[in-house]
């Protein structure tokens, strides 16, 4: 049982009963809102429903709230329903029910709280998606924590959930990455070449160039920029994945922008747009 859902159903039922008894006039019952009160001393849950009904019922919110409270179905998990100005319904749960929640949580472990709202539905959550041009920073990690948390919650709600990382591994930034790595490599060979203002200046570029030099010596001097770009982006991608894995964030799908070009999908899309004018 999800308590706030059950309370919402019971409030709606109480309104219907009150209407049948003549305590409230006839009107269409809107969606019932159940929330956590700002002040815990007011109870475990609260509802502003009576205040939202004041206009359609043409009654004072306090009177509506009292009519709802008087007609609330009896349950084994609600200890009391209190009406509070200007028209709140405050609910306090029984100690027996609260103790049973702890027992159930211990018994069910990782399955505790699982619901089935998403059965038969799919969800895709894309987050982080940092360019593979440098080590991942805390801002991107923050987005990963939020996305991963949402994905875990949706999986627990029985959605068929995919957590996706979109790699922008094509275009000018990758060319600049390759040029930056190649220049640092050539510097290690003693050549008088310098990075331009648009190149990547971080020390990690030198680290990658040193790896290439340690493994291949001078044998890469004639390799094109693409060779250096491919090596650098693969190394940086590995660093990014390791950083995320260190806080238990692992993706189901790594979708590469470059694959859109390799499969011809970019050109197919452009052709469709041309045909449609």
Calculate mean pLDDT across residues 135-150: 94
Q: Mean pLDDT of all residues in the chain?
A: 95
As given in the structure block, the two tokens for residue 241 are 């994945």
Question: Where are the CATH 3.30.1360.70 domain residues in the chain?
Answer: 3-97
Q: Look at residue 148 and tell me whether its pLDDT is greater than 90.
A: yes
Percent of the chain surpassing pLDDT 90: 92
Give the C-alpha separation, 72 to 47, whole Å.
13
Q: Is the peptide bond before 86 cis (omega within 30 degrees of 0)?
A: yes
**CATH architecture, domain defined by 116-277:** 3-Layer(aba) Sandwich (3.40)
Q: Look at residue 97 and tell me whether its pLDDT is greater than 90.
A: yes
Percent of the chain surpassing pLDDT 70: 100
Inter-residue contact 68 to 15 (CB < 8 Å):
yes
Question: Where are the CATH 3.40.50.620 domain residues in the chain?
Answer: 116-277
Calculate mean pLDDT across residues 186-197: 96
Fold of 3-97: Gyrase A; domain 2 (3.30.1360)
pTM, entire model:
0.73
Say what the pLDDT of residue 80 is: 95
Q: Which of 84-93, 211-220, 257-266 has the lowest mean pLDDT?
A: 257-266
The DSSP result for 37-75, as a single string, is: -SSGGG-SEEE-HHHHHHHHHTS-HHHHHHHHHHTPPP-
Say what the pLDDT of residue 226 is: 96
- Those residues whose C-beta lies under 8 Å from the C-beta of residue 105, and which sit 6 or more positions away, are 112, 113
């Amino acid at each position: 049982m999800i308590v706030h859902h059950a309370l919402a159903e019971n409030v709606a039922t109480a309104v219907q009963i009150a209407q049948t008894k003549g305590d409230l006039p006839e009107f269409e019952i809107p969606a019932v809102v159940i929330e956590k009160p700002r002040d815990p001393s007011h109870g475990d849950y609260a509802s502003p429903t009576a205040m939202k009904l004041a206009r359609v019922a043409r009654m004072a919110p306090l009177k509506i709230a009292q009519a709802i409270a008087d007609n609330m179905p009896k349950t084994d998990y609600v200890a009391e329903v209190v009406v509070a100005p200007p028209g709140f319904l405050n609910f306090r749960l029984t100690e027996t029910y609260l103790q049973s929640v702890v027992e159930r949580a211990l018994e069910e472990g990782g399955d505790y709280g699982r619901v089935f709202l998403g059965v038969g539905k799919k969800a895709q959550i894309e987050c982080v998606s940092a360019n593979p041009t440098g080590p991942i920073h805390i801002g991107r990690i923050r987005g990963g924590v939020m996305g991963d948390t949402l994905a875990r919650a949706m999986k627990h709600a029985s959605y068929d959930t995919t957590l996706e990382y979109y790699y922008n591994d094509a275009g000018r930034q990758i060319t600049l990455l390759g040029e930056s790595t190649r220049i640092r490599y050539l510097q290690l060979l003693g050549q008088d070449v310098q990075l331009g203002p648009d190149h990547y200046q971080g020390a990690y570029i030198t680290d990658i160039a040193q790896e290439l030099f340690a493994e291949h010596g001078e044998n890469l001097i004639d390799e094109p920029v693409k060779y250096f770009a491919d090596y650098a982006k693969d190394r940086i991608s590995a660093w990014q994945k390791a950083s995320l894995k260190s806080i238990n964030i692992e993706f189901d799908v790594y979708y590469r922008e470059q694959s859109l070009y390799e499969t011809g999908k970019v050109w197919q899309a452009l052709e469709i747009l041309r045909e449609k004018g």
